[in-house]
Amino acid sequence: MLAECLDAVRERAPLVHCITNYVTVNDVANILLACGGSPIMADEPDDAEEITAICGGLTINIGTLNHRTIEAMHRAGRKARELGHTLLLDPVGAGASRLRTGTAVSLMEELHFDVIRGNVSELKALALGSTTTQGVDANAADAVREENLEEMISFTKSYAASTGAIIAITGAIDLVADSCSCFVIRNGRPEMGRITGTGCQLSAMMNAYVTANPDRKLEAAAAATVLMGLSGEIGWDRMQPGDGNSTYRNRIIDAVFNMDGKTLEEGAKIERR
Amino acid sequence: MLAECLDAVRERAPLVHCITNYVTVNDVANILLACGGSPIMADEPDDAEEITAICGGLTINIGTLNHRTIEAMHRAGRKARELGHTLLLDPVGAGASRLRTGTAVSLMEELHFDVIRGNVSELKALALGSTTTQGVDANAADAVREENLEEMISFTKSYAASTGAIIAITGAIDLVADSCSCFVIRNGRPEMGRITGTGCQLSAMMNAYVTANPDRKLEAAAAATVLMGLSGEIGWDRMQPGDGNSTYRNRIIDAVFNMDGKTLEEGAKIERR
Amino acid sequence: MLAECLDAVRERAPLVHCITNYVTVNDVANILLACGGSPIMADEPDDAEEITAICGGLTINIGTLNHRTIEAMHRAGRKARELGHTLLLDPVGAGASRLRTGTAVSLMEELHFDVIRGNVSELKALALGSTTTQGVDANAADAVREENLEEMISFTKSYAASTGAIIAITGAIDLVADSCSCFVIRNGRPEMGRITGTGCQLSAMMNAYVTANPDRKLEAAAAATVLMGLSGEIGWDRMQPGDGNSTYRNRIIDAVFNMDGKTLEEGAKIERR
């Protein structure tokens, strides 16, 4: 199943419009190209609708948002919805400021998202109104652990049911769920948290996966999550003495570039719950 | 001729102002430094004119444009024209939206550009009003191939004649022409298309080359094109097992950094038509 | 002393809000993570205050400023001041345009900065009103050299006295001073000037160092400067044939990632004057 999802992305080369933060945008573009998709970025309201129209998916990432780009998110989002494109929200920093939380809420009220992907603090802030988010990284107290796994799976499925979206909560353990079933994924390395933007990269790549696999969206979102985590493992194995987080960033994207279906299937640490 | 152009850039270290998209801006800055030039970026209208005034060239790249930066493009462009600086347009995504096409057209109506560099779909959209552009990458149907080479050389020369600019159309085969003659360049690797921003990088570097070689602008634009393609070949030769597009990006800029005139001359696959 | 400063950053993991230019922002985020800090970026005025409130330090870098981000700088700066956060100014391009010089001056008039870090031309432009700045790089005529070292130490201390800030002037020789004493640092490599953003990176990292070491701010600012220069030396030693400035960028951040207190102490070329 994972291999089929990967092959579909390489065959269909989905064009993904990203309204995304300028901190990690270059890596987002390169990982989309690495996985077989194609990126385009436009965040001027008078440009974003037409650019969205030629794409297959729209990723809205609210890091470094401003009032101009918020308007672009709404206008492009409506157009994407109208055209039946894959719509994915990455609520970077939700819970950390009223503007970020409010923007995420407002987008979710207006638009039906196919996928919402974030860290556990961001998703809890949106689902529960809790405000423990610390910046753009998850609060350790919120983390998905083996001890609270059942509870977190329930939370994820329940939030998927109430939003109608696939919910992807990524961290040491990743959960990707709709209202009925939840993939638990244990790929990845803790050192990925020392690189800026692995979450942003996964969001864009997940959009490419879902866009290229319209008949198995949940599986595609899970496959993208496995791909990111496994690439983190493969990239880490290639680290040389003296290498650090900047080189690690390159090696992860490189691993996505070189991934094939067989390696993805064999390296996956995934179970369905 | 190519070696002399390269040496002039290293000697004169032209300062190039880039109003350019935020997706690839870091690589644009680093490749300018790699080739011997120096970058500066300013896109606030109240800042852009003065910053342009201290430079030798201005590169206007319309990817991720917005109304503020469009005003900066016009104001900086007029100042650059007034001061006789090298003015280069990279019409990223022209043909993909009305705002992008209209901005490129409006800039070309107001300003005389020394060089216009883009992919074939963007240039056709501007020259012929065709609308086959798909995002920021060229449409395969438009590509310059051996079979349509004569026709494409004619198109490029003719568009150079009507605009008064050097026209550089880059892809599998690159064409760099004024109204009289056309360089056909066959350097490069298809894998360069799997990296974001090689076109943006070439535009900025081409500006540095033309600025440092005012008496042989066409040759300088061609030399920059050879340099980019040959660096793509040298960078690819240095790839190790497991490397992918992110490392390839670094290796290309590294190859520009280490290029010397002799290597450039010997590696060039260039003919004048 | 240097080792203690480094350890404090790794233990306290200071969260640093950066309103910084989009050219080098990704490297700024990754070097903050490499040194043990944590980055967050927000430049919308209605977002910047709240984001600043959850951080320990605020870095204001005026490269690629615009009127929106200038307002965010002022609002976030006032909030940071109110909360006693570390406030650092990097006046990129001061002296190169009226908007940049005026913004730096206006920020300094309104806010008391803990640290001001720039190249010698930028700092002279602010302190003396001289206008020799050429773009974002220092004018060679201004450089700190062994011949003018005494004079430049006096200038740095004197500007520290008049601003009440730690002044860090970085170049071939780095000076980090308050009104009483000045650290002279001779780490680094000239090739660091061929990478975009090493100054921006140092500014953000210096903020993390000062934030994590509130009782020895001057020493912390000096330690960050040694760390950057020594990482430039270590990174250079790891360069392979064919490597250039793009790979060098990665190797410097990697060296920061791998630095330990012992290596920092032993590699430091620092004296107190």
- Inspect the interface and report whether the beta carbons of C137 and B30 lie closer than 8 Å: no
A243: chain C residues, CB-CB within 8 Å: 254
Q: Is B82 exposed, middle or buried (0-12, 13-18, 19+ CB in 10 A)?
A: exposed
Average pLDDT of the residues in C163-188: 98
* Tokens 């609520």 belong to residue: A91
Q: What is the pLDDT of residue A78?
A: 98
- Inspect the interface and report whether the beta carbons of C256 and A250 lie closer than 8 Å: no
Residue B260 sits at the chain C interface (C-beta within 8 Å): no
Other CB atoms within a 10 A radius of the CB of residue C13 amount to 16
Q: What is the pLDDT of residue B133?
A: 58
Q: What is the pLDDT of residue B148?
A: 95
Average pLDDT of the residues in C143-168: 97
What's the DSSP call for residue B94? B
Average pLDDT of the residues in C218-233: 98
- Inspect the interface and report whether the beta carbons of A64 and C42 lie closer than 8 Å: yes
Q: What is the pLDDT of residue C138?
A: 76
Q: What is the pLDDT of residue C244?
A: 98
Average pLDDT of the residues in A214-236: 98
Residues above pLDDT 90, as percent of chain A? 95
Q: What is the pLDDT of residue C131?
A: 61
Q: Which residues contact A146 (CB under 8 A, 6 or more apart)?
A: A173
B22: chain A residues, CB-CB within 8 Å: 22, 25, 41
Q: How far is A80 from chain B (nearest CA, A)?
A: 15
Q: What is the pLDDT of residue A68?
A: 98
Answer for the pair C111, C81: CB distance below 8 angstroms, yes or no: yes
* Tokens 């392979």 belong to residue: C240
Q: Does position A106 have pLDDT exceeding 70, yes or no? A: yes
Strand order in the sheet with B115-118: B38-40, B15-19, B57-61, B86-90, B115-118, B166-169, B174-177, B182-185, B270-272
Between A256 and B139, whose confidence is greater?
A256
Q: What is the pLDDT of residue A141?
A: 79
How high is the ipTM of this complex?
0.96
Answer for the pair B139, B121: CB distance below 8 angstroms, yes or no: yes
Q: Give me Rg for the CA atoms of chain B.
A: 17
Give the CA distances from residue B14 to residues B32, B210, B237, in Å, rounded to whole numbers and listed in that order. 9, 9, 30
Q: Is the pTM of this model over 0.95?
A: yes
Q: What is the pLDDT of residue C170?
A: 97
Q: What is the pLDDT of residue C102?
A: 97
- Inspect the interface and report whether the beta carbons of B242 and A256 lie closer than 8 Å: no
Q: How far is C144 from chain B (nearest CA, A)?
A: 21
- pLDDT tens sequence across C100-148: 999 999 999 999 999 999 999 999 999 998 665 566 777 777 899 999 9
Give the CA distances from residue C272 to residues B252, C1, C176, C178, C222, in Å, rounded to whole numbers and listed in that order. 42, 13, 9, 11, 10
Q: How far is B118 from chain A (nearest CA, A)?
A: 16
Least confident interval from A127-131, A146-150, A181-185, B105-109: A127-131
Q: How far is C255 from chain A (nearest CA, A)?
A: 7
What is the identity of the amino acid at A34? A
Residues above pLDDT 70, as percent of chain A? 98
What's the DSSP call for residue C240? P
One pLDDT digit (tens) per residue for chain B, 273 residues: 999 999 999 999 999 999 999 999 999 999 999 999 999 999 999 999 999 999 999 999 999 999 999 999 999 999 999 999 999 999 999 999 999 999 999 999 999 999 999 999 999 999 998 665 566 777 777 899 999 999 999 999 999 999 999 999 999 999 999 999 999 999 999 999 999 999 999 999 999 999 999 999 999 999 999 999 999 999 999 999 999 999 999 999 999 999 999 999 999 999 999
Q: What is the pLDDT of residue B91?
A: 98
Residues above pLDDT 70, as percent of chain C? 98
- pLDDT tens sequence across A158-207: 999 999 999 999 999 999 999 999 999 999 999 999 999 999 999 999 99
* Tokens 């090493």 belong to residue: C198
Average pLDDT of the residues in A84-98: 97
- pLDDT tens sequence across A32-88: 999 999 999 999 999 999 999 999 999 999 999 999 999 999 999 999 999 999 999
Q: What is the pLDDT of residue B134?
A: 62
Q: Name which of C47, C258, C259 to mutate to probe chain A: the one with the most chain A Cβ atoms within 10 A of its Cβ.
A: C47
A136: chain C residues, CB-CB within 8 Å: 40
Q: Name which of A24, A119, A196 to mutate to probe chain C: the one with the most chain C Cβ atoms within 10 A of its Cβ.
A: A196
Q: Does position A132 have pLDDT exceeding 60, yes or no? A: no
Q: Does position A137 have pLDDT exceeding 90, yes or no? A: no
Find the DSSP H helices in chain C.
2-12, 25-35, 45-53, 67-82, 98-110, 120-128, 149-163, 198-212, 217-237, 245-258, 261-267
Task: Write the residue in A26, A135, A246 that is nearest to C253 by C-beta.
Answer: A246
Closest among A206, B20, A138, A29 to C26, alpha carbons compared: A29
Task: Write the residue in A96, A242, A246 that is nearest to C30 by C-beta.
Answer: A246
